[in-house]
Every structure is written in C-alpha cells, then in structure tokens.
Amino acid sequence: MRRPPFWRQRAAATVVRMPRPLRIQTPGAIYHITTRGNRREPIFLSGEEHYFHLWWLNRVALEEEWEVYSYVHLTNHFHLLVRTPKPNLSHGMRRLNGLYGQVFNIRHGHLGHVFQGRFHSKLVESEAHLLECARYDDLNPVRAGLCNHPIEWRWSSFRALIGVAPKPDFLSLGILRLFSSDIERARRQYLEFVEARLEQAA
C-alpha cells in the first residue's frame, strides 16, 4: 500500500488527539500566568497597545473580582500574578485575551490567532513562592535586555509598587504587606528584595 499523502497523515493525527485536560480552578487560589504571542511573535507593538491591554485588564480584573499582585508586559508575552476569589480564571482570561486579540488583529490587518494556544498557569503554593514569582516578573525585562533596572521599564507593576508611578486600580498591594504594614518601609524592602537578584538577571 502506498504511503498516504502528507495531508492525510495530518488528518489522521488530528483524529487521534486527546482532548485538552480541564484546568483545575480553586476559589481563593493564586496563579502565576504566562501568555505568549503565537509563534513567539510580538503582541505589543506600540505604547498604545500596552495602554489598551492595561485598560482592559483593569476592567476584567474588577468585574471578575481578581486580586492582581503584579504584572509585566514584554514584547511577545506577558505575566500576571492573580488571586481569584471565585473559580473564574479561565473565564477572565478568555475575556482578557479574546478582546485584545481582536483589537490587535483589526489594528494591524492580521488574521488568525494572536496568542500561542491557551495561557499557561501555575498554582502559587506559599508566600515565598509568591514573592519569587513577583521578583521573577519584575526582572524579566532586564533578562530580556530591554532595560538595566526594572525601574526603567514602564510596562510592569514594579514602579507602582515602589511608589514612583501611579497605582492602577486593579493592582493590589498584597505583595508589599508581606514585608511590612508600613507602606514606605515595605516599598524600600521590596526594592531591596528585587535588587538582590539584579546582577544575576543582567
């Protein structure tokens, strides 16, 4: 028997694929979320797109009752640290990525997927893990060569957390409360905490 054409092989492979497992969602859980551009292509091409995504994140977070501990935009992906009092992570992420993807495609005359499959989420299981995720996100632009210090990067929560930029409505100060009940002391300690790994990220 002759080998079937390539398209038939692909069709056969499609038939036997297993369905994607359901994402486990727990009320009150904290997630470290990553969303990447399809084929790792850019998803933010201008400051206007960064602003629009943050505006829409603000609306989704407030309506879904999310507690957003931190965020960072890179060129081709973004990270969020989110606590979900209700088991609505997937619903909220569909809203967040769905509208942004539509607007991005209209703006650039593109078709197809903007994002690479489903978002990735990892359950945060302790305060130490939460802090490491926040520090990882803050230092991501440094590792990517986009800046020398996270304070230089406008598209993250770092500047708001340490008090050098206005705080978005959706951004929680829960990270700072892990350092001190005094906000100024907490900001200094968080800055020191992030800078302790700065040389390793550079």
Tens digit of pLDDT for each residue in 109-166?
999 999 998 899 999 999 999 999 999 999 999 999 999 999 999 999 999 999 999 9
Whole-structure pTM value: 0.86
Mean pLDDT lowest among 8-12, 56-60, 65-69, 148-152: 8-12
Model pLDDT, residue 108: 95
Work out the pLDDT band at 201, boundaries 50, 70, 90. Answer: confident
Mean pLDDT lowest among 10-19, 29-38, 123-132, 161-170: 10-19
| Phi-psi label, residue 65: left if phi above 0, alpha if psi -120 to 50, beta otherwise | left
Which are the contacts of 171, defined by CB distance < 8 A and separation ≥ 6? 68, 69, 70, 71, 157, 160, 161
The residue among 20 and 194 whose pLDDT is bigger is 194
Model pLDDT, residue 15: 43
- Angstrom distance (rounded) from CA 104 to CA 106: 6
- What 145-153 contacts at long range (C-beta under 8 Å, 24+ apart), as own/partner pairs, is 146/74, 146/75, 148/202, 149/198, 150/194, 153/72
